[in-house]
Amino acid sequence: MSVDTSLLSRFEPSPRGDDSLCCGAALAGRPRDGAAPVSHAWDSRGFTLVELLLAIAVMSLLAILSWRGLDGMVRAQEITRQRADEMLVLQSALGQWGTDLDALMPIANTTPLDWDGQVLRLTRRISAVPDEGALVVAWTRRGAQGVGQWMRWQSPPVRTRAEWQEAWQLAGQWARSPGEAERRREMTLLPLEDWQIFYYRGGAWSNPLSSSGATPAGTSAIPDGVRLQITLPPGQALVGRLTRDWVNPVLGGGRT
When divided into structural domains, the chain yields a total of 1
Q: Does residue 121 fall inside a structural domain?
A: yes
Rounded to two decimals, the pTM is 0.67
Q: Does residue 3 fall inside a structural domain?
A: no
pLDDT tens by residue, 79-104: 888 888 889 999 999 999 999 999 99
Q: Does residue 173 fall inside a structural domain?
A: yes
Q: How confident is the model at residue 25 (pLDDT cuts 50, 70, 90)?
A: very low
Q: Does residue 73 fall inside a structural domain?
A: no
Domain residues for the domain of 210 are: 84-251
Q: Does residue 59 fall inside a structural domain?
A: no
Q: Does residue 200 fall inside a structural domain?
A: yes
| pLDDT above 60: residue 58 | yes
Question: Would you state the pLDDT for residue 46?
Answer: 73
Buried b (16+ CB within 10 A) or exposed e, 5-44: eeeeeeeeeeeeeeeeeeeeeeeeeeeeeeeeeeeeeeee
Q: Does residue 14 fall inside a structural domain?
A: no
Q: Does residue 13 fall inside a structural domain?
A: no
| pLDDT above 70: residue 175 | yes
Strand spans (E) along the chain:
113-115, 119-125, 134-142, 148-154, 186-192, 194-201, 204-206, 225-232, 240-247
Q: What value does the mean pLDDT of the chain take?
A: 79
